[in-house]
Amino acid sequence: MSAIRSVCVYCGSQMGASPAYAGAAAALGAALAREGVTLVYGGASVGLMGVVADAALAAGGSVVGVIPRILMRKELAHGGLADLVVTESMQERKAKMAELSDAFIALPGGIGTLDELFEMWTWAQLGLHAKPCALINTAGYYDPLVAFLDHAVQAGFLRPAVRSMLQVVAEPGPVSEIFTEL
């Protein structure tokens, strides 16, 4: 795999119940900017999406937002982006984010976050791309999901090789520490 120049970050349009979630989003945005890695994300100014983008911008980073027209008002498109791509559908949004990214990371979020990450992980399983995927398990947010995925391996529904394609780290850091198997 070549060097990672852009990372798609999936995360909530809400802040979540713990301040640790916003802290992790800010740390990841700043870390990507320090490394010169472009942040690709959902284009919103609210929730963890706004936090990760604001942190990357404040640290001098490059940020590309991708938002479907239907969510321009609901998620409040980020007005501070030099590069905001508006799509006509959620499917187009996901495809564009995938096209623009060399890797995928999920911070805490809801079903949209999981949908986006799981689609990219599925595409990797199918050989449609060879881009790494990771969860940042801030404050144990994803512990039940990780336990379920390990259970799916034990139950014979998820091959160990596929399970290992999704890396799990506790906290944001440099890209080389998040994606340890590059």
pLDDT score at 2: 57
| Cα–Cα distances in angstroms (integers) from residue 62 to residues 31, 35, 38, 82, 150, in the given order | 12, 11, 5, 9, 36
- pLDDT at 180 (0 to 100): 78
**Pair type for strands 166-169 and 63-68:** unpaired
For 83-126, write each residue's pLDDT tens digit: 999 999 999 999 999 999 999 999 999 999 999 999 999 999 99
pLDDT tens digits, 39-88: 999 999 999 999 999 999 999 999 999 999 988 877 689 999 999 999 99
Mean pLDDT (whole number) for 19-45: 97
85 to 16, 17, 105, 151: CA distances (angstroms): 26, 30, 20, 38
Place of tokens 């944001």: 172
Q: What is the pLDDT of residue 1?
A: 43
For residue 167, list its beta bridge partners.
134
Whether this model's pTM surpasses 0.85: yes
